Amino acid sequence: MTSAPPLAGLRVLELARILAGPWIGQVLADLGADVVKVEAPEGDDTRTWGPPFVESEDGENLSAAYFHSANRGKRSITADFRTPEGQALVRRLAAHADIVVENFKVGGLTKYGLDAASLRAEFPRLIYCSVTGFGQTGPYAPRAGYDFLVQGMGGVMSLTGEPDGAPMKAAYATADIYTGLYATIGVLSALRRRDATGEGAALDMALLDSQIAVLGNQALNYLVSGRLPQRLGNAHPNIVPYDVFPVADGHIIIATGNDGQWRKLCEVLGEPMLADEPGYIDNRSRVKNRVALTEHLHTLTQRHLKADLLAALEKLGVPAGPINGVDEVFADRQVLARGVRVDLASDVAKGGSIPTVASPIVMDGVRQVSPRPSPQLGEHAAEILNDPAWGGPQHG
């Protein structure tokens, strides 16, 4: 017998658009929550952020791929917050929600009576999660937050790129997505606390806070040593060799994590005595002499073909791997075996389905991904308004 999803019965009211806020709703929907997405009459901004667009059978636009990356599993209804009718609709839904997620600018919902203080005063069990660029407090609180700006302000761009190159952002929205994930942890923690106390919570989630949090060892390297981390390209600040290396037909990654793996690498490359040289005998020495060692390793790895070297390293347990294009990612046998790509059935999409990247959460052998594709704008208005769980008419 298949058990119900872990968050079945939980109701989430999403007043969010773009990425960080919708990412929270999507994760919760994947885990079984009923997520109602309230969109402005013109829809979430990302519906227009294409091409590419998902097409219907007759060639119509079913919203940009960007929108579909963060909104599966939800039901959509529209409301104009500027009108009394729109405000009343949100309050009606909030009365039946466990969680509200919003990512308006600080104070943006106060004038409508839809802010955390107003709704929690009326519904004290509500867990209200606010996502902003810089948080509800501090001198930057009034500013709008954009992922690109936050990557720059949060330090990651000073660490990313080649040593003599320009600062470089990540190719995906790290600040938005990490904030969505941290916020989801916060929401679930608040639910656990509510189980014990009966009281809801107000969560203040900031893109800048989250981006700084994931600096991880780089932040601690600076805080402990006082020395400013530098851009190292693909190299690791604390481990050598841990980098991209050239081979006869391209490049591979070699990521030795200990001295034993280092010795095995030297064996595979045909210079076992290299491991015993005083300048390279342990990781501390290798970090100190990284430039000379890396140059020498380049001369050795270039003698090998990619497939041959990777096979030899795998056989001895030395961590190494290819650098895949996105097409190669989704064709990889491990990715195929794990079911990372999922095609969600759709009555309106061309070909009868919309592709998605499944949640990485696998529970009791079951991948937690909603079977429901991203909604069309306002698609479920009648359904939601008549749903008793959301205050619709009761049928005896």
Residues 6+ apart with CB under 8 A from 138: none
Tokens of 350: 């061309």
Helix (H, G, I), strand (E, B) or coil at 127: strand
CA distances (Å), origin 282, targets 90, 237, 264, 299: 61, 15, 13, 21
Q: Is 347 in the active site?
A: no
* Peptide bond before residue 241 is cis, with ω within 30 degrees of 0: yes
Q: What count of other Cβ atoms lies within 10 Å of the Cβ of residue 223?
A: 9
145 in Cβ contact with 133 (< 8 Å): yes
Which runs of consecutive H residues, i.e. helices, occur in the chain?
Answer: 20-30, 65-68, 84-94, 116-122, 147-153, 156-159, 174-197, 207-213, 217-225, 259-268, 283-288, 290-301, 306-316, 326-331, 333-338, 381-385
State the Cα–Cα distance between residues 141 and 204, nearest whole angstrom: 11
State the Cα–Cα distance between residues 293 and 320, nearest whole angstrom: 18
- First-to-last C-alpha distance (Å) of the chain: 30
Q: What count of other Cβ atoms lies within 10 Å of the Cβ of residue 307?
A: 12
CA distances (Å), origin 323, targets 288, 348, 361: 27, 36, 24
How much helix, strand and coil, in percent to the nearest 5, is found in the chain? 40, 15, 45
Map 29-40 to HEC letters.
HHCCCEEEEEEC
Which among 176, 209, 243, 387 is annotated as catalytic?
176
Least Cα distance to 184 among 238, 230, 112, 127 occurs for 127
- Cα atoms in the 13 Å half-sphere on the side-chain side of 240: 22
Residues annotated as catalytic (active site), given as ranges: 176
